[in-house]
Amino acid sequence: MKIGFIGLGNMGSGMARNLIGAGHTLTVYNRTRSRAEPLAALGASIAETASEAATGVEVLITMLADDRAVEEIVFGPGSVLHSLPVDAIHVSMSTISVSLSQRLAEAHREKRQAYIAAPVFGRPEAATAAKLFVVAAGAAAHLARCRPLFEAIGQKTFVIGEEAPMANVIKIAGNFMITTVIESLAESFALVRKYGIDPNTFLEVLTGSLFPAPIYQTYGNLIARDNFATEHVGFKLPLGFKDNRLVLAAAEQVAAPMPMASLIHDRFVAALAQGLSEADWSAIARVSYRNAGL
């Protein structure tokens, strides 16, 4: 398939690579051009502008950092909205707000272009290994056409329904679930540590009994180690904060109070006040630790 791919960050690079590996023809675009070059070496064309990356393609994939980046690409000057062919599909894989996804759906409808929201779960390692989980929503026919692409980058695709922005709701709600795991581990580890118990002992009980999920293992290890400054950073704290803002905004839009999300909001603010803006988002655990005198 002839694919335009915009956004070659930690996640996008791995995904684009896997699409090339699956035999697709990619035209890639990234604001910082140097990140595109390794893909050119694998056969991708490099577009000079976002608009160019959308020209003449069957599918345009965007994998960008946040709402602002997507708005700039789609609605800004030299917008892809004007270069994307009629009937081509824009597959938005970024973690963006529900309201932006709603605006995208409408804008593409007006231009008689197709729109799918297909955000993903997984950290950069999973993107590289084609092990992402894809959460997709849009018209059934469009989803069917994109299915091979999802299979090239992920281990599993969940189809949510016809209304694209609902995939974004699911993605945002899923990220919220992850932050609640982080916060609950932080609070319970603070508790056991104050009793002199190694948090790894507690973590082994959890993951060896009722919580045998990788998410508990991954974050449990990071939080037990309590060394956020020098650790490998999978997902930066300000990005996690952004995602928490997304869930609060989505919740506000439909009037669903989410006190746990509010609590976690305060954790992110406190973590930033403690200078943790370069740490992994699991570093919000430091707030629980510190408030417990640890």
248-267 residues in contact with its own copies (CB under 8 A) are 248, 250-252, 254-263, 265-267
Q: Binding to its own copies (CB under 8 A): which residues in 147-206?
A: 156, 158, 160-161, 166, 169-170, 173-174, 176-178, 180-181, 183-185, 187-188, 190-197, 201-202, 204-206
Q: Determine if 211 is a binding residue for its own copies (CB under 8 A).
A: yes
Nearest Cα neighbor of 54 from 98, 99, 12, 114 is 114
Query: In angstroms, what is the minimal distance from the CB of 182 to its own copies?
Result: 11
- Contact map string, positions 97 to 136, toward its own copies, x by CB under 8 A: -x----------------------x-----------x-x-
Please give the span between the terminal C-alpha atoms of the chain, in angstroms, as a whole number.
54
* 2 noted as active-site residue: no
Catalytic residue, candidates 2, 156, 171, 242: 171
CB atoms within 10 A of CB 255: 6
Closest CB to its own copies among residues 25, 102 = 102
- According to CB under 8 A, which residues from 80 to 99 bind its own copies? 98
Q: Determine, following the binding rule CB under 8 A, whether residue 282 of this chain makes contact with its own copies.
A: no
Triad 91, 43, 104: Cα angle to 5°: 15
The site for its own copies, by CB under 8 A, has a size of: 75
* Angle, CA 126 vertex, CA 123 and CA 132 arms, to 5°: 95
| Residue (of 35, 33, 175, 32) closest to 16 by Cα position | 35
Buried b (16+ CB within 10 A) or exposed e, 203-232: beebbeeeeeeeebeebbbbbbebebeeee
Piece of 9-17, 86-94, 232-240, 272-280 that binds its own copies (CB under 8 A) = 272-280
> Does 237 interact with its own copies (rule: CB under 8 A)?
no
